[in-house]
Amino acid sequence: MQIRAFDEGDTDEVVALWRLCGLTRPWNDPHRDIQRKLEVQRELFLVGVEEGNGAIIASIMAGYDGHRGWVNYLAVHPDARGAGHGRALMTEVEELLIARGCPKVSLLVRGDNAEARGFYESIGYGIDDVVAFGKRLIADT
């Protein structure tokens, strides 16, 4: 897999990957999420491309707010899992965040997603003793 920056032409393929991986929700329009990301730190939106045919088999979206980094939309095509692609994307994003002076990175995982929890634990992430709060400011639907 080769890692490269997301390009607008990747949109439909990335959204299809997110849907296949169960990352989308009815209240979040993934196309709007992409458009919003392209306006802020677009260089922290990466895709993993299969060598040979150029198909997108992975993605990751990250950001840094001056206090901590965040990771969203890490996805690896189910047929490509277990080959280290998720780890490679996380390593790349961590390096990009460190280069910006980011001291800590956080991410959210749905409580019922045991596979994702196991993956993040295997690469050194742990559960923070916090409660996540959220408030929707703009309705996508």
pLDDT of amino acid 7: 97
Question: CA-CA-CA-CA torsion for 135, 125, 92, 20, nearest 10 degrees?
Answer: -60
Q: Is the model's pTM score more than 0.85?
A: yes
Q: Model confidence over 41-97: pLDDT tens digits?
A: 999 999 999 999 999 999 999 999 999 999 999 999 999 999 999 999 999 999 999
DSSP secondary structure, 16-79, as one string: HHHHHTT---TTS-HHHHHHHHHTS-GGGEEEEE-TTT--EEEEEEEEE-SS-EEEEEEEE-GG
Asked whether residue 141 carries a pLDDT value surpassing 80, the answer given is: no
Confidence (pLDDT) at 140 = 85
Helix (H) or strand (E) holding 12: helix 11-20
Q: What is the pLDDT of residue 45?
A: 98
Categorize the per-residue pLDDT at 127 as very low, low, confident or very high, splitting at 50, 70 and 90.
very high
| Nearest residue to 123 (alpha-carbon basis) of 85, 97, 78 | 85
User: What are the sequence ranges of the domains in the chain?
Assistant: 2-122
Cα radius of gyration rounded to whole Å, the chain: 15
Is residue 105 a contact partner of residue 98, using CB atoms and an 8 Å limit?
no
CATH top class, domain 2-122: alpha beta
Band the pLDDT of 126: cuts 50, 70, 90. very high
